A and B are shown apart, each in its own frame.
Chain A
């Protein structure tokens, strides 16, 4: 990877972090409603090509940015504005952009694993070499969909990369209290799907593991399972202040912060402290502009209530 790649990926992580902090603030001011799940600590980056699909669960802000979504329509969606990526009809848990092949945040746990098999099947049927990157949490590995989807992907040799973001908690329940195996990748063994594990706090490690996995899939060998060990600094969703984790545990993970940890790596590559600082300043500006755009945008007009229910006129 070049110096420019490093700068770009670092900037992406910083923007995600700042967006999440801003969302937290706007939620506390009641400008954002509904359920909201923050990505802070999990700023993992994918190594995909434009023809590849991405689909994820409801903790989707970071992945939307990693897919290339402009922070403006993202922030506008958060505020329920008509300029949002889904015209204000999806909200925090349902960001999407068809032009980026980002097929959505989905909020029924595990259900989007089934959708991922279909996205990949359609690619395969059309002769595309696209790979479908399907992100989900450790909690999703206990639901029937997980097993039905891994099985179908293996039987049909579908080009799906199952990426389990193991952040050690399904809502408030630790993995070991909910899953018979704590190494989630062991479940892939039952479907004869090859797997790997990587440090989700280390951008280059995630990058390397996902590149390897994607190359495996693109060579026509069927699905792959990647377990990314990570941690969310914030609660499951906003308002989660339950005492299921210790302050020490959170602090310990924060010493491995993916952004902080990457800075010395960048310096070794010859990137200066000034360059890093200017990325922070630029990113802050991008987020500030996105918030202004969202605040100034109109809410959807009442006619929007009845649009897009069906494609065909009723």
Chain B
């Protein structure tokens, strides 16, 4: 997947000279996760800029540059460090267009990596994606496959609005076919049905799509047909396909890697209750991270993060 993301930036930078990349180690070193590999060699140091370890000014400079005509793609090494740039993301990027009456545009992408599972302990393993989805004015995208990562990153770069683009830290080595067509984009704010099924609707996104698909394969052996909807973006949140699916299955499980309290499951479940109350056959189940800071020790970490068996158990509970 890291190559797919690099290709997206490469193709877009070839197309538009106003696109610039900045972040810690994104230049000659090619990025901590290798996502900017090859860009420095092709586009040079003026367009692919290493920054000091200064998250506030990385995003701040990117916002200012976006207001003044560039289209920056800023890399924040991990979503945990994005909290240091939170003010720029939510008080500036998300509000510059509206607060000044539409005068300024902020065509900015902030790329970052989220998620646990690598034994990095509590401050380096969080999945706080939902926090960023709270703010009108910001778009939040989180792909689940290499092909979609490429097409959604390209769409994010071409968007005139600020996009917070979340890559899962354990997915960079995922393999998959990607489109060679430099104009193949996926629209931001459209959910996708990843698997058809008639018994239970699973709503999920990012890494948890593959976990849910594995659970679905197991359940199929028992004759249970699960439908899986990948949200792909958390804001705008496209729930129409979810409602449509729920009206057919009358049962839903929401799977997310982040914590349950005030999580994506809370929002999606409420919206299903509001829109589809008459179609409800069982209380909606939420599969999410245990309410603890993630521990370092591998077994403990695994126990806290949703696994295939947790999804299977939740599906069986709603049936």
Contact = CB atoms under 8 A, between A and B. Distances in A.
Interface in B151-173: 159-161
A86 interface: yes
Contact of A111 (B51, B60, B99, B236): B60
A148 B55 CA distance: 9
B98 A114 contact: no
B63 A118 contact: yes
Contact of A90 (B91, B100, B139): B100
B111 interface: no
Interface stretch (A94-102, A164-172, A177-185): A94-102
B69 interface: yes
Contacts, number: 142
B64 A118 contact: yes
A151 B54 contact: yes
A122 B159 contact: no
A84 B101 contact: yes
A309 B59 CA distance: 20
Given A108-B91, A111-B87, A151-B54, A118 B100 contact: no
B101 A118 contact: no
Contacts of A120: 64
A183 to B, nearest CB: 24
Interface in A200-243: none
A105 to B, nearest CB: 9
A53 B49 CA distance: 23
A308 interface: yes
Interface string A111-141: 1011111111111011000000000000000
Interface size classification for chain B: 35 or more
Interface string B39-82: 00000001101011010110111111111111010000000000
Interface string B93-106: 00001111111110
Contact of A89 (B46, B62, B87, B100): B100
B20 interface: yes
A2 interface: no
Interface size classification for chain A: 35 or more
Given A108-B91, A152-B57, A125 B70 contact: yes
Contacts of B160: 311-312
A14 interface: no
B102 A87 contact: yes
A314 interface: yes
A255 interface: no
Contacts of B46: 125
Give the most central of B20, B52, B61, B66: most A CB within 10 Å. B61
Contact of B70 (A55, A103, A121): A121
A144 interface: yes
A85 interface: yes
A45 B52 CA distance: 33
B2 interface: no
A-B interface, 9 closest residue pairs, ranked by CB to CB distance from nearest: A118-B64, A114-B60, A87-B101, A122-B68, A86-B101, A308-B102, A115-B64, A148-B57, A311-B160
15 contacts: A53-B68, A84-B101, A90-B101, A94-B99, A98-B100, A113-B60, A114-B59, A117-B64, A126-B70, A144-B56, A145-B57, A148-B56, A149-B57, A307-B102, A314-B236
